[in-house]
């Protein structure tokens, strides 16, 4: 489903973020991306939905070559991938409800379906009563949960989450993990970059460790692995 | 539908930015409106002055009534001639005396022994034809000489043509400035939202999906921005026509009538506002769609 | 020092926003400059036309040379009179014949029996004094009548005064529009940075510390924005003075000389740009300092 | 040093974030603020440097009444408090170096001192080689460390950190904690809102737990306390 071959990424300022990534992720897998700060996890994630383009190498998602994809086609790729951004990326002038609904409006869902799905998913992340608020009126953890809600609202085939529990307490984190496991059980592929040793060691999944732009470990049912 | 709704909502969501954009559109259009009104009226006045130009074709003293009649017919046949009115030498002396004011009275003694000629007062359909028509008349048998203010009339036309060119340049300059300023303002407000546009693209919105609400928003900005200018133009021009024009009373100062001129002007203003609004908004958003 | 350095740096940091602001300042100032040049020249022309107004004081036919000499002295003593030049009745007839063109030749036969008067051609220091001075002259012994284009001159002055008022209103309107548009554009660009201003305050910056770089930035925006307008005014006006003015040749069209007029205008433009830049920037930033 | 009496905070949209906070923190203490997402931790923190004003109650810092402080005086209060924001709040157009230097420029330090201090503190958080980068060119964890560097660069009397390790791997988190302990040893008061059970349980300090806008627990050498 997700296939990367010898992927390199050097940013415009000369920083080498990835230097030769090879990876094969099957449909329905649940994969943690771990590694120290600045290792290249977010860059790795951003390649998949073409937020950044690789300097070298090929990326295939569902047999679509992401590099060669026409500009026009990119939105359709992105609709199949729900992304929780490390910095949330909420639209500041839209309410919580409108932010989540946006992901359904782009695929032209009917208003009735939108209302139902959005309220369902806001309920799931515990923000049903904050639907009318603006992002600025939320706490950090609440904003993060809106970003999670938006990522999963349109039942994407792949969910990519960059540090989705960084601003959540362990209790709420666990609830979010349960949601991810549930949609994973329904066949959704999940990629999650995380620094949470506790989560990785509790919910055992495949672990890919990135250091200095290279995959240094790739274990099924692995642990967080770094000494504490 | 969604796009129209979102376009309207954005007007509210962007609060201060909307007010600033609408303010820029408003001021610019007031300026354009005022100058358009002024220039179009000045143009009209120039037309009126040119229309006052006439050819005095002096008939030879020896011509009898029949010859004069024939001459009149011949003149009217010339291409470009609109009318040829006979004016006897007595009429000519009277109007000369009138035009000289107090000075003229000294000349009344010559009424018995009038040295002037009978004259055909000729008007051309297009004032620009005055010189060639006058030349043709001058060649007719029985015409002693023609007088249409040679020299002065050419200068008048030249001056008016300069004035018209300057006016046109000013108006065009102003309209282009308006286009630039309005679209520039809109561009800045959209620039301030480039991050949001980037997020929309990341969530899977197509360029069209993002562009449409901006289209509507630009249209609204333009139309909202033209409300005050239109109101000012309509009331201001109404006031002008009804008050000022009574006080100034030169034959050549003639203001264009309120209806339909003011309404046409209002329409132009709204159209400029709406078009630039849409154009500025769509062009600016294009830049940020390449994320 | 830090503030000046930061002000300069911000010009670069804000890239597109800076370009957009400078663009708005540039276009607006070009407009203001062009209209100022036009209006000041038209004003000068109106002055010239008014300066051409003169009073013809007709001397009674019976006056002898000594009386005429005395009359001249008396006229010159009247308050507001600049000069009084004697013109004999023969001069008068000649200039009448000249002014009538071909028509005038018919009158040459009256050279032996001239019905005109000797005249004092009087000029007033201030053209506006024409009517009262003429009245005073008229009351002098030995003056038959005065003629200064009664009626027409009053209308000319009235028209010029209307034209001047309209011109002033237009220029003021334009300058205020310029002020609004420039400060509005700057306001929007600063609005887009309100978040950054908030962060600065949270890090412990005083209002003054934040304001100074904006002050410098506004000054720079204004000055940068006036470079192109000044260049256009200087070269454009130079071209106008040297070329166009040779082609138009009416006595009353007299363009103000390049030096010092164009330089004064350039100075005004830079001053407007700099002042509004600073003012718009400082006023806008004030709003966001209340964090 | 920090004294809150019956502090209430209701936001403009009607949300009651704090409903009666009483707390007394002494000079040189190290205090964790824990609690579920949306409990009011960030609000509690923001009150101290007047990012928000309380609806009710009094706040005193170093015997200064924060509520009554004149607008003009607020910057001077803030210069004594170094803050690590949950959303970093970096100036996007300034480089890493300039962002950190800003905190010294406002107190009009000499250029030489600024250069020395900034490079020192960037070295401390491991970002010496990224001094010329813009925030947008950094990874999430790197941005967070810039925010930490800025908070401590001018040796403030109080350091307040809102979730300062949310985007950092355990290894880097530990290094940051060591820095905090070090400056705490030198007498700096430290308040730190965190969701990291691991940190709280490893570096034992005073723990204040907030739930639904109320302090529900206040223990010296406490543990994270919530079940995992
Ligand atoms: N837009 C960018 N431009 C230039 N360099 C960048 C950009 N984004 C990231 N980098 C650099 O690329 C490297 C990898 O960054 P990345 O965001 O992938 O790290 P990460 O593993 O996600 O780290 P973290 O855990 O801190 O989020 C870092 O050194 C960072 O400074
Ligand atoms: N600016 C604001 N306007 C309105 N309501 C707000 C604002 N900031 C926070 N709130 C609300 O106040 C409550 C407390 O928020 P706060 O940010 O203090 O929580 P927190 O404990 O920091 O949570 P987290 O761990 O998720 O960061 C939340 O319910 C939030 O929705
Ligand atoms: Mg990252
Ligand atoms: Mg918080």
Given this model, what pLDDT does residue A147 score? 96
pLDDT higher than 70, residue D226: no
Distances (CA, A) of D64 to D31, D76, D207: 21, 11, 25
Tell whether D133 lies on the interface with A, counting CB pairs under 8 A.
Answer: yes
- Provide the residue ranges of all domains of chain B, joining segments of one domain with +: 2-49+155-288, 54-148
Report pTM: 0.86
pLDDT tens digit sequence for C25-63: 999 899 888 888 888 888 877 777 777 777 888 888 777
CA D168–ligand 1 middle distance (angstroms)? 13
Task: Choose among D96, D101, D98, D153: nearest CA to D127.
Answer: D96
Q: Which of B5, B189, B202, B208 to mutate to test the interface with A (most CBs of A within 10 A)?
A: B202
**Confidence class for position A228, pLDDT limits 50, 70, 90:** very low
* CB of A137 closer than 6 angstroms to any ligand 2 atom: yes
Per the CB < 8 Å rule, is D106 touching C202?
no
User: CB of A157 within 8 A of CB of A80?
Assistant: yes
Reduced to 3 states (helix: H, G, I; strand: E, B; else coil), residue A125 is coil
**What was the pLDDT predicted at B157?**
77
**Pocket flag, ligand 2, residue D228 (CB < 6 Å):** no
Using the structure block, give the residue that is written with the tokens 């495949």.
A206
Ligand nearest the Cα atom of residue A144: 2
**First vs last C-alpha separation in chain D:** 34
Q: Which two tokens stand for residue D143?
A: 């941005």
Ligand nearest to the CA of A46: 1
* Distance in Å, CA A17 to ligand 1 centroid: 6
pLDDT value for D168: 94
Q: Measured from the CB, is residue D53 less than 6 Å from ligand 2?
A: no
Of the two residues B237 and D147, the one the predictor is more confident about is D147
pLDDT digits (tens, 9 = 90+) for C72-102: 888 888 888 888 788 877 777 777 677 665 5
D201 vs B119 pLDDT, higher one: D201
- CB-ligand 2 contact for D39 (6 Å cutoff): yes
Ligand nearest to the CA of A169: 2
The stretch D104-110 carries a mean pLDDT of: 93
C-alpha distances (whole Å) from C46 to each of C40, C169, D170 are 10, 17, 84
> For chain A, which residues make up each domain, given as ranges?
91-154
Which candidate in C203, C206, C213 is best for mutational testing of the D interface (most D CBs within 10 A)? Answer: C203
Measure D139 CA to ligand 1 centroid, in angstroms: 4
CB contact under 8 A, D171 and A227: yes
Using CA positions, which residue lies closest to atom 4 of ligand 1? D137
Please give the number of the atom of ligand 2 that sits closest to the Cα of D18. 14
Residues 6+ apart with CB under 8 A from C67: C142
Residues 6+ apart with CB under 8 A from A215: A21, A22, A23, A208, A209
Amino acid D228: pLDDT: 47
Residue A213 beta carbon below 6 angstroms from any ligand 1 atom: no
Residues in contact with A148: Cβ distance below 8 Å, sequence separation at least 6, in sequence order: A84, A125, A161, A164, A176, A179
Ligand 1 pocket residue status of D140, Cβ below 6 Å: yes
| Contact residues on chain B for A102, CB-CB shorter than 8 A | 200, 203, 205
pLDDT at B104: 60
Chain D positions touching C205 (Cβ under 8 A) are: 75, 102, 106
**What separation in Å is there between the alpha carbon of A162 and the centre of ligand 3?**
7
CA of D182 to the centre of ligand 3 (A): 27
Q: Which residues of C touch D86 (CB under 8 A)?
A: none
Nearest to C204 among D71, D92, D103 (CB): D103
The pLDDT of residue B37: 85
Taking the CB of residue C220, how many other CB atoms lie within 10 A of it?
21
Backbone angles phi, psi at C142, to 5 degrees: 95, -10
| Residue nearest ligand 1's atom 7 by CA | D137
C202–D78 CB contact, under 8 Å: yes
Structure tokens at A152: 């999963």
Among B240-254, C103-117, C136-150, D169-183, the range with the most confident prediction by mean pLDDT is: D169-183
Q: Is D46 on the interface with A (CB under 8 A)?
A: no
Q: Which residues pair with B75 in a beta bridge?
A: none
Write out the residues surrounding ion ligand 3, Cβ under 5 A: A 42, 86; D 139-140
Q: Is the CB of D142 under 6 A from ligand 1?
A: yes
Return the closest-CA partner of residue B102 out of C89, C97, C149. C149
pLDDT at B205: 94
Distance CA(A128)–CA(A96), nearest Å, equals 9
* CA D13/CA D43 separation, integer angstroms: 14
Q: Which two tokens stand for residue C257?
A: 């000389």
In chain B, which residues have their Cβ closer than 8 Å to the Cβ of C145?
Answer: 102
The reply to whether residue D37 touches residue A141, judged by beta carbons under 8 angstroms, is yes
pLDDT by residue for chain B (291 residues), tens only, comes to 778 888 888 888 888 888 888 998 999 899 888 888 888 888 877 777 777 778 887 888 777 778 888 888 888 888 888 887 888 777 777 776 776 655 566 666 666 677 777 888 888 888 777 778 888 888 887 788 877 766 667 777 777 787 788 888 888 888 888 888 888 888 888 888 889 999 999 999 999 999 999 999 999 999 999 999 999 988 988 888 777 656 655 545 567 777 888 888 899 999 999 999 999 899 888 888 875
Residue D58 pLDDT exceeds 90: yes
**Per-residue model confidence (pLDDT) at position C137:** 81
CA distances from C202 to C207, D80, D107, D122 (A): 11, 12, 13, 21
A32 - beta bridge partners?
Answer: A192, A207
Greater confidence (C67 vs A106) lies with: A106
Instruction: Name the residue at shortest CA distance from atom 31 of ligand 2.
Output: A138
Name residues 149-208 of chain D within 8 A of A (Cβ).
162-163, 166-174, 195, 197-198
Atom of ligand 1 nearest to the CA of A43: 18
pLDDT for the residue D185: 95
Please give, rounded to a whole number of angstroms, the shortest distance from the CA of B27 to a CA of chain C: 6
By alpha-carbon position, which residue is closest to atom 6 of ligand 1? Answer: D137
Q: Residue A207 corresponds to which tokens in the numbers above?
A: 């672990």
pLDDT at D50: 93
Sheet strand arrangement including A56-61: A16-25, A2-10, A56-61, A64-65
User: Which residues numbered 111-170 in D keep a CB inside 8 Å of some CB on C?
Assistant: 150
A143 CB within 6 A, ligand 1: no
Q: Does the beta carbon of A156 lie inside 6 Å of ligand 1?
A: no
Q: Is residue D194 in contact with ligand 2, taking CB distance under 6 Å? A: no
Through-space distance between the first and last CA atoms of chain C, rounded to whole angstroms: 25
Q: Which ligand is nearest to the CA of A125?
A: 2
- Give me the CATH topology for the region B54-148: Alpha-Beta Plaits (3.30.70)
- CB distance from A147 to chain D under 8 Å? no
For C229-283, what is each residue's pLDDT tens digit?
A: 999 988 988 888 777 656 655 545 567 777 788 888 899 999 999 999 999 899 8
Structure confidence by residue, pLDDT tens digits, A24-67: 999 999 999 999 999 999 999 999 999 999 999 999 998 899 98
Nearest-CA residue for ligand 2 atom 22 is D42
Q: Does the distance separating the beta carbons of B200 and A89 come in below 8 Å?
A: no
Element (H, E) at C83: strand C81-87
Q: Does residue C24 register a pLDDT over 60?
A: yes
- For the four alpha carbons of A197, A36, B202 and C197, in that order, the dihedral sign comes to positive
């Amino acid at each position: 489903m997700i296939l990367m071959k010898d992927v390199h990424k050097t940013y415009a300022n000369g920083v080498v973020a990835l230097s030769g990534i090879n990876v094969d992720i099957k449909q329905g897998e649940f994969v943690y991306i771990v590694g120290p700060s600045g290792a290249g996890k977010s860059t790795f994630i951003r390649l998949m939905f073409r937020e950044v383009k690789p300097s070298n190498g090929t990326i295939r998602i569902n047999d679509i070559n992401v590099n060669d994809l026409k500009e026009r086609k990119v939105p359709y790729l992105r609709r199949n991938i729900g992304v929780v951004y490390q910095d949330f990326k909420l639209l500041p002038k839209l309410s919580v409800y409108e932010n989540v609904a946006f992901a359904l409006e782009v695929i032209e869902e009917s208003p009735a379906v939108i209302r139902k799905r959005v309220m369902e998913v806001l309920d799931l992340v515990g923000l049903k009563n904050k639907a009318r608020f603006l992002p600025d009126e939320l706490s950090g953890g609440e904003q993060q949960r809106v970003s999670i809600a938006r990522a999963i609202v349109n039942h994407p085939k792949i969910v990519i989450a960059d540090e989705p529990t960084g601003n959540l307490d362990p209790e709420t984190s666990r609830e979010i993990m349960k949601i991810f496991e549930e949609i994973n059980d329904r066949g959704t592929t999940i990629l999650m970059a995380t620094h949470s040793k506790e989560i990785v060691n509790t919910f055992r999944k495949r672990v890919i460790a990135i250091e200095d732009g290279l995959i240094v470990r790739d274990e099924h049912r692995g642990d967080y692995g770094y000494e504490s | 539908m969604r796009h129209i709704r979102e376009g309207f909502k954005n007007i509210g969501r962007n609060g201060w930015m909307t007010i600033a954009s609408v303010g820029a559109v408003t001021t610019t259009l007031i300026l354009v409106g005022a100058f358009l009104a002024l220039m179009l009226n000045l143009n009209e006045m120039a037309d009126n002055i040119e229309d006052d130009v006439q050819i005095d074709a002096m008939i030879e003293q020896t011509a009898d009534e029949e010859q004069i009649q024939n001459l009149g017919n011949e003149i009217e046949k010339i291409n470009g001639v609109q009318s040829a009115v006979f004016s006897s030498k007595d009429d000519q002396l009277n109007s000369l005396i009138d035009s000289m004011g107090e000075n003229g009275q000294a000349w009344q003694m010559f009424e018995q022994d009038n040295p002037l000629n009978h004259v055909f007062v000729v008007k051309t359909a297009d004032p620009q034809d005055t010189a060639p028509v006058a030349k043709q008349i001058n060649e007719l048998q029985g015409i002693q000489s023609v007088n249409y203010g040679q020299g002065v009339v050419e200068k008048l036309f030249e001056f008016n043509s300069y004035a018209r060119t300057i006016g046109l340049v000013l108006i065009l300059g102003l309209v282009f400035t308006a286009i630039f300023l309005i679209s520039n303002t809109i561009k800045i407000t959209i620039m301030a939202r480039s991050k949001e546009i980037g997020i929309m693209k990341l969530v899977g919105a197509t360029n069209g999906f993002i562009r449409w609400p901006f289209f509507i928003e630009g249209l609204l900005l333009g139309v909202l921005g033209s409300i005050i200018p239109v109101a000012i133009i309509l009331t201001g021009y109404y006031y002008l026509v009804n008050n000022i024009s009574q006080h100034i009373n030169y034959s050549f100062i003639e203001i264009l009538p309120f209806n339909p001129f003011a309404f046409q002007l209002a329409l132009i203003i709204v159209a400029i506002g709406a078009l630039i609004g849409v154009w500025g908004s769509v062009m600016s958003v294009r830049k940020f769609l390449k994320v």
